Structure 1
Amino acid sequence: MPSQTFTIGELAKEFDLTTRAIRFYEDMGLLAPRRAGLQRIYTSRDRARLTLTLRAKRLGLKLTEAREILDMYDSPRDTAVQLERFLGVLGAHREQLEAQLAELQANLDEVRAQEKQARAALARASKPKAR
């Protein structure tokens, strides 16, 4: 059974991307279409790599990290090593997100405290003055 192929336009439409974004992913080494003259021909493998690249982006991974992980699965290495590396990347990213979340929570707590103080000051300023 012949492998399914896609044009850049088909992938762009399917994934709601611009063709420029797909060419960027190609330049980053995430996709490797073959050429038929000036036209790029993407395989099912390229489509799967694009799917995984977009998933990695949603997770907040850098494109270089996504490429490294995808390339590991293309090599005939030990799966345990690949999974350990993937877990390492995910763990580091999770730690970064948790630190950002803690910082955001601290900022939110500060905003709430300032709102409380401003409301109290407004209430005091709105009371009629006794004579």
Structure 2
Amino acid sequence: MTTPERASTWTIAELAEEYGVTHRTIRHYEELGLISPERRGTVRVFHRRDRTRLALILRGKRIGFPLEEIRTIIDMYDETPGEAGQLTYLLAQIAARRADLEQRRADIEQTLRDLGDVEARCRTDLRALRRTP
């Protein structure tokens, strides 16, 4: 068996192990058309392009992009305006994702402050109730 670093093709098991995903996950991406391994009878043979696309899919998922957005980004590489267009689009998507996460962080921080205020008032009220005969 070849090692993933030196192989020019991979099995589904090799990719699943390398990326820490299930066979089902890889088959799902195949069903969606995100990757398209060669079929040799019932065996899937994955080439460098599939491996690269799988890595990009998983990276995109990790940073919170939905699969359709990942598809758009990956597919742009093979279409006009090519890699430059893909990177420009990706930068815009990263900026939008960052802004969304920054807003969520601000919302969480405000919620934590609000909880702290309510907690302090509850403790003050509880102490006052305990002092009242």
- Please tell me whether residue 16 in structure 1 is matched to residue 20 in structure 2: yes
| Partner secondary structure for residue 74 of structure 1 | coil
User: Equivalent residue for 2:119?
Assistant: 115
| Partner secondary structure for residue 46 of structure 2 | strand
Range that drifts further, 68-77 or 13-22: 68-77
CA separation in 1, counterparts of 2:120 and 2:86?
51
2:130 maps to a residue whose letter is S
Matches within 5 A, 1:77-116: 77-116=81-120
| Partner secondary structure for residue 61 of structure 1 | coil
User: Equivalent residue for 2:128?
Assistant: 124
Runs of 5+ consecutive residues of structure 2 not aligned to the other structure: 1-5
| Cα distance change, pair 16–66 in 1 and its aligned pair in 2 (3 A) | same
2:93 maps to a residue whose letter is V
**What is the total number of aligned residue pairs between the two structures?**
128
Report the alpha carbon displacement of residue 3 of structure 1 after superposing the two structures with TM: 6.1
- Please tell me whether residue 55 in structure 1 is matched to residue 83 in structure 2: no
Runs of 5+ consecutive residues of structure 1 not aligned to the other structure: none
Q: What TM-score results when the alignment is normalised by the length of structure 1?
A: 0.85
1:100 maps to a residue whose letter is R
Contact 2:29 2:35 in 1 (8 A): yes
| Partner secondary structure for residue 52 of structure 1 | helix
| Cα distance change, pair 87–45 in 1 and its aligned pair in 2 (3 A) | same
Aligned identity (percent) is 40
Report the alpha carbon displacement of residue 58 of structure 1 after superposing the two structures with TM: 1.1
| Partner secondary structure for residue 116 of structure 1 | helix
Q: RMSD across aligned C-alpha pairs, in angstroms?
A: 2.0
Cα-to-partner distance string for 1:69-116 (whole Å, 9 max, x where unaligned)? 111112353443222211121122222222222222221111111111
